[in-house]
Structure 1
């Protein structure tokens, strides 16, 4: 219970902080917007790296997202968290960009995934595992793969994924459940081949 309460208090404080920074930005305080960028840039970069093949495209994407955030900040209605709102803008921007370019590389870039200092053998096992998981996710139907990626690799909740993608929560749960089964079957095949 204490953990849930603390989590709720943390969320409330974050929402109040964001509300203050948004109002300050709308009143012309550039430093307030710079603070919002610092707070949410890592999230946007991680999402960008999961969609694009190189850091230059990701940098362009991050700039594009924050320009959209700035231009639409007055439309933020506080019905969701600012983090969810900005992630939705980032996700939609990435999908639109990918649709224009037909270039999608799901899964967080392995550099973005935290890896502790590993020995050469453990590093090779980690790399092989990531490559295998990446192939499994790529083999999933597109909507399944995107939901799996947001849930497992970006740590988003079903409700946040629903807001971002526009899919109902139960559909997302179903996609993730089916994806787990498909991936387990695929991984079993890989294990038995070796």
Structure 2
């Protein structure tokens, strides 16, 4: 089994099997990332394909300063955002792919309540401005570090932290407002 560096060098030299291995290793990441920004399934497939075409064309520019997956995520982010701008597509709500607790020891009623709460939270995240939603998703759902988010989004560290702070605050305010409405405290 070849190392990541060996695969990259082989792919640059024209070894299509090496590039297929790179695709296989990163396809879930790219589809997951693109699907957080783009709604339509066919568009997700098209953008994912565009991402890997760009990876193939630009692989010789990869400088090994970051992980390959971070570099590919940056291409996926840029390609997805450019697609949105070009096509003026609305961004979909974020779905949480994490399988919390696996449903063990929960009644069907508990599972339904938890699913409704999770759906509501994802809906609220989906209503945040694009950059807030993106940074929040990268940090909390995809568990990227600040450095990785900087590389992916090409935003300065201060901006990433500011967007994350504002996203959390806006989400908290929206959830508190909903809670007050639900409890009948606001007319």
Structure 1 and Structure 2 fold alike (TM over 0.5): yes
2:151 is matched with: 163
Distance 1:52 1:119, change over 3 A: farther
2:176 is matched with: 188
Structure 1, unaligned runs of 5 or more? 1-15
1:8 is matched with: none
The ranges of structure 1 where at least 4 consecutive aligned residues each deviate by more than 4 angstroms after the TM superposition are none
1:114 is matched with: 99
Q: Deviations over 1:40-97 (max 9, x none)?
A: 1110010121122233222222111111100111111112211111000000000011
* Residue 135 of structure 1, CA deviation: 3.1
- 1:132 and 2:99 equivalent? no
1:83 is matched with: 69
Higher helix share goes to which structure? 1
1:153 and 1:106 map into 2 onto residues whose CA distance is 13
RMSD: 2.0
Structure 2, unaligned runs of 5 or more? 183-187
Q: Report the TM-score, using the length of structure 1 for normalisation.
A: 0.82
Task: Judge conservation of contact 1:106–1:145 (CA < 8 Å) in 2.
Answer: no
Q: Report the TM-score, using the length of structure 2 for normalisation.
A: 0.85
- 1:43 and 2:29 equivalent? yes
1:98 and 1:21 map into 2 onto residues whose CA distance is 32
2:160 and 2:85 map into 1 onto residues whose CA distance is 21
1:6 is matched with: none
* Residue 106 of structure 1, CA deviation: 4.3
